[in-house]
Structure 1
Amino acid sequence: MTLHSGLPASGELDLPALDAVAMSYAHRCGDDAREAARERLVRSAMPFAGRLARRYRGRGEPMDDLEQVARLGLLKAVDRFDPERGAFTGFAAATIIGELRRHFRDRTWGVHVPRRMQELSIEVNRASTELTAKLRRAPTVAELAERLRVDEEDVLSALETAAAYTPLSLNMPARAESEAELGDLIGGSDVGLEAVDDRLTVASLMCRLPERERRILALRFYGNKTQTEIATELGISQMHVSRLLSRALAWLREAMLSDAPRQWQAGNGPGEQHEISVRRRDKGGLVRLDVSGEVDRDTADPLRAALLEAVEVAGSRPAPREVAVSLAGVPIIDAAGVSALLAGLEAARAAGVRLRIGDMQVFVRRTLRVAGLAPVLAAPHA
């Protein structure tokens, strides 16, 4: 909205004369006479509004914009003037200054800050200019606080707030002769940081799973292997891998949402039970144990019992010369199964019986070597 057209500034009147024009306008009757008196008052008060606008120049706003805001304030003052409440010039000055301050508060700040801090920032800037001219140096925070009669902390906050008036563009160069922009230096949100708690929780819960389930989860999510590849490596079916994986993930999800996770139990659902078979054959001084099935903490006890029984001297039956254990039918063995084999080895040594373990799959052999059973790994006697 432009107010130059139709309202040219005439010779400036002093304040008493301007108040007299306003009183004449206030007491006019009739639409035409009142409109003419209003036009004359506005024209006469234009220089007055311009003088108030010039008080705010040098603060980053074009002078033309400030004059437009002052003239809008003048029109509001003319339309709201009530002669019974005081002189026109006092009322008009307060209205125009209020419009100018509102303009600076609502339209010129690049970042929104509280109104109190906006006004204090303006006052600090004005006081700094005046004290610099008076002291011939930059004033201290204490001097500004004393001049404005505020706390030093408020002055510091106002100085920091001033930076929000014209914030730097994120598209400006970060350094001279550099193609990088300031926006490139701002870090993004770290999604991994939000997952730290979940990762720690999963790590602790993984330790509570059997070795078989831990290995399947590791191959699937850390080794990026398919269920078919996992089944081939472990020597079991793909459907079995799928069931074990689903059961382990369901338990992990439930445990993460529970303050007191329930203990892992094998065979949580139909079709999930797994057992081992230990078949014994005696031939002279040789005892052969053919083991088949997954050997874990749920199924290791039968293997332990069979080993201890094989090396035991029962009645008139002498201890065998050798116990050969065939693990050809064992696709996977965990720490509980290894513990059962170690218990059998100790019992065999105590009884003077030779123990040999053979016919095992690659993963099982690797597990037993790590467990320290390499000296007894060999093919069993026929």
Structure 2
Amino acid sequence: MSRTTDNRTYEHAEPLFAQWALTEPSSPEHDAARAKIIELCLPLAEHIARKYAGRGEIFDDLLQTARLGLVMAVDRYDVTTGSPFLGFAVPTIMGEVRRHFRDHLWPLHVPRREKELQGKVRVATDELSRRLQRAPTAHELAAELDATVTDITRTLVAANAFQTRSLDTPARDGDGEPGMTVADTFGAEDPSYRRTEDTITVAPLLARLAPEDRQLLIWRFYDSLSQGEIAERLGVSQMSVSRKLTRLLGGLRAEAIGEQPVPAA
């Protein structure tokens, strides 16, 4: 990519737009000024494209889309409004990139990393099931494959994305005749599902806490004691209780997403 001879950057491109506006639209000078502005601002398009990299789309396609958005922003920007070009260009380019994701990618697109890990998870699941005489947990699979719990969870979810079926597909009743659609067979959303999911995730983490840490959480979230009441029971300051709760909750949250173990007491 050739380097522009102008010392300006895309953060301060407004003077170039003002000069462009003074040229005759049908003149070579007009086209040259437009090309100069686009060249100056190409790094902005690349910067935005890289923000969306790693989401299952080829980077070159993202870059091409971002550059298209940049050209649109250049052609639509009105320097007479007095607003900075950057404030107009960024949402325009980002809008084009987001539209690309919406229009060109399959809603259940599975990134390559999840596809590759899926095979390893399947083998590890069979091996651990024989070894443990039960289905392995996500934490056990993560330890076996030296992966994070987040990666394992995403891979398990991605395994269900290889085939899809329309919700309007007729479901079959007991006699094998067309009846309700697949959508009709869905039950109502269980309001306790999220709570159950959270309980399954947190229960083994709580079991590994020191007894005094578990007791602190029980007082605060099960017995609904205030931090002041807990402080009185322990003979410490309310600030000390607050800090310990913050540390405990931060540790639990971090381990739940596979970042680090719960800190020791």
TM-score grouping bracket, smaller chain normalisation: 0.3 to 0.5
User: Which structure has more strand as a fraction of its residues?
Assistant: 1
- TM-score, reference length from structure 2: 0.40
User: Which structure has more helix as a fraction of its residues?
Assistant: 2
- Specify the structure having the higher radius of gyration (Cα): 1
